[in-house]
Structure 1
Amino acid sequence: MKKRHITACLFLAPAIIVMLIFMYIPIVQNFYYSLFNWSIYKPGKTFVGLKYFIELFQDKVFWTCLRNNTLYALISLVGQLGVGLVVAAILEAKFMRKHSGFFRTVFFIPSVMSFMVVGLLWQLFFNPNVGPFNGILKAMGMNTANLNILGNPGTAIFGVIFASQWMYFGYMAMLLIIGIQKVPDELYEAAEIDGANALQRFLHITIPNIKEMILVDCIIIVVGSFKLFDEVFIMTNGGPGYASEVISTYLYRTAFRADMMGSASAMAVVLFVITFALSIFQMKISRSGEE
């Protein structure tokens, strides 16, 4: 028994060492560095205690970032999970199964593309001078003279969010299809015999039988929403002003442009606490379906 334990530890040791060096030690160091005023260009650190945490929660830009992250999460629950669920149910319907493989590929392709490509694509799409978006609205009779989705503080974050929904709803649909495929066909056949229509079968059979998958997908979306970086950085760089800034891009700007490393470390701690709490919640939900 002891030999087996030693062998198991030896096999696990490389993974544990890598995780300690590249994950857990940096997390602890970041907590430590958030208590100091320091710069990557100058030696030495000055202890400031919780000063940066107090300043952070008094910072209007930080609250704008938190609002944008929360807005992204709420819209994504509808745009990624909601639309993905409807698409998954349609693709698994009997009349679509013959063509399901083609549409799965079409919907899934955007999620494996680099967001550098996707971001530039949607930047061009929303461009008021050469992009087709304003032209489409104009053809529908709308006044687009002053419309600049990514250049307007009130709409910039929504342009970024829309591009993300287009990219990821197919991925969510594929996860939900896996759950739907595990639902016994006998349940649908019995409901059909009893006179249930497609919507009733969807509401009373499909959703209750994949609720664990739906709950886990919800948390994946919410946690991902608070780690948002690429979309904003590529499409708007947090602008105009700070209108589309999120926590990750504000952290990057504070650390590597303003060289306020202590403040950026405090921001990273807050982001870690949010995502860690949501991850713990995800694990508890994941166990809800265990028998």
Structure 2
Amino acid sequence: MYSTFHKWRGSLWLAPAVLVLAAFVYLPLAQNFGYSTQRSDIFTGASEFIGMRNFEVLLNDPIFWRSLFNNILYAIVSVICQVGGALVVAAGVESVRSSRLRNALRVTYFIPSAISITVAGLLFYFIYEPNIGILNSALTAIGLEQWAQPWLGQQSTAMLSIIVMSQWQGFGYTALLFTVAIQRIPTELFEAAQLDGIGPIRRFITITVPLVRQMSGLLTIVTISGAFQVFNEVMVMTSGGPSNSTQVLGTWLYRNGFVRNDFGYAAAIATVIFIVTLGIGLFQLWYTRKRKVEL
């Protein structure tokens, strides 16, 4: 009996965590898929089973595809700025000889990440304000008034304006993680390369980039996954407008579920978000295991 208890002791310790996950993660996921096969009214509780009809409507919904495109655009720009750009900045800061200046630069680029995304959205909302906003005022002051425009009020610039704000807010966090990864590289490698007459750009390409590859891969996957869960930025700045040009999957889900009272269709959108993020997560696990085998 003791041996049996000893054999299952680990499972008993894991049981509470498994039960919590089952109650608050897996059960809601299963319920969400069930809701996606229904036409539901969240206020009266009435529901009607309609099978895969919500997914058929979703595939023919131009705003859904627009939302998916915005998420993909958001992911591409985020990878370029928050992974590629942050790596360049982190490497540049770490090459500064003065420790005081390095610390000051780290604090400077990390401060936006300490600001709430809601506060950052409101801040940029006023920066983009067409009449008294800082951006248009600055353009007018330097003689570029022809560039001044309602940044959040027209379809051609609204989504990119939101993305710019988001990159500003999230850039410092990834740069700080790259800083930690760069600090783990043996300094002897940089010193040897410098003695061999290798310039800073080549040192960055041949030493820094390969040796922070694992961190780069992890941050790329995390950044892409986060790009498909964007919500606050859009809701604070445009609420999906103008003319649904800045809708993302999260805001389109919210509008259908809690504004249009079409909870079944909202659940179908949530299922798509889950499938996308699950795929990214599985790729992350595969990539991590592959890197461990290679190392």
Report the counterpart of residue 204 of structure 1 in structure 2: 206
Q: How many Å separate the matches in 2 of 1:80 and 1:104?
A: 15
Give the drift of 1:201. 0.2
Structure 2: unaligned runs, 5 residues or longer: none
Report the counterpart of residue 256 of structure 1 in structure 2: 258
Q: 5 Å matches for 1:119-268?
A: 119-144=121-146, 147-268=149-270
Secondary structure of 1:41 counterpart: coil
Q: How many Å separate the matches in 2 of 1:150 and 1:96?
A: 41
**Greater mean deviation of Cα atoms: 95-104 or 22-31:** 95-104
Q: How many Å separate the matches in 2 of 1:145 and 1:204?
A: 41
Residue among 77, 93, 109 paired with 1:75? 77
Report the counterpart of residue 92 of structure 1 in structure 2: 94
**Paired letter, 1:166:** W
**Paired letter, 2:47:** K
Secondary structure of 1:127 counterpart: coil
* RMSD (CA atoms): 1.5
Report the counterpart of residue 58 of structure 1 in structure 2: 60
Secondary structure of 1:95 counterpart: coil
Query: For the Cα contact (< 8 Å) 2:96–2:102, is it kept in 1?
Result: no
Deviations, residues 33-62 of structure 1 (Å, cap 9, x unaligned): 111111112244211111110110100000
Query: For the Cα contact (< 8 Å) 1:69–1:226, is it kept in 2?
Result: yes
Query: For the Cα contact (< 8 Å) 1:255–1:264, is it kept in 2?
Result: yes
Q: How many Å separate the matches in 2 of 1:281 and 1:31?
A: 22
Query: For the Cα contact (< 8 Å) 1:73–1:225, is it kept in 2?
Result: yes
Give the drift of 1:141. 2.3
Secondary structure of 2:230 counterpart: coil
Give the drift of 1:194. 1.1
**Paired letter, 1:124:** F
Deviations, residues 229-248 of structure 1 (Å, cap 9, x unaligned): 01001011111120111000
Runs of 4+ with deviation above 4 angstroms: none
Task: Give the structure-2-normalised TM-score.
Answer: 0.94
Report the counterpart of residue 283 of structure 1 in structure 2: 285
Secondary structure of 1:99 counterpart: helix
Give the drift of 1:110. 1.6
**Paired letter, 1:164:** S
Report the counterpart of residue 102 of structure 1 in structure 2: 104
Percent identity of equivalent pairs: 38
Deviations, residues 255-290 of structure 1 (Å, cap 9, x unaligned): 000000111111111111011101111121222331
Give the drift of 1:109. 2.3
CA 1:101–1:2 in structure 2 vs 1: closer, same or farther (change >3 Å)? Answer: farther
Query: For the Cα contact (< 8 Å) 1:134–1:144, is it kept in 2?
Result: no
Task: Give the structure-1-normalised TM-score.
Answer: 0.95
CA 1:140–1:49 in structure 2 vs 1: closer, same or farther (change >3 Å)? Answer: same
**Greater mean deviation of Cα atoms: 258-267 or 37-46:** 37-46
Q: How many Å separate the matches in 1 of 2:110 and 2:6?
A: 43
**Paired letter, 2:50:** V
Give the drift of 1:144. 4.1
Count of aligned positions: 291
Q: 5 Å matches for 1:28-67?
A: 28-67=30-69
Query: For the Cα contact (< 8 Å) 2:139–2:148, is it kept in 1?
Result: no
Q: How many Å separate the matches in 2 of 1:148 and 1:177?
A: 37
Structure 1: unaligned runs, 5 residues or longer: none
Pairing 1:273–2:275 present: yes
Q: How many Å separate the matches in 2 of 1:146 and 1:91?
A: 33
Q: How many Å separate the matches in 1 of 2:51 and 2:238?
A: 34
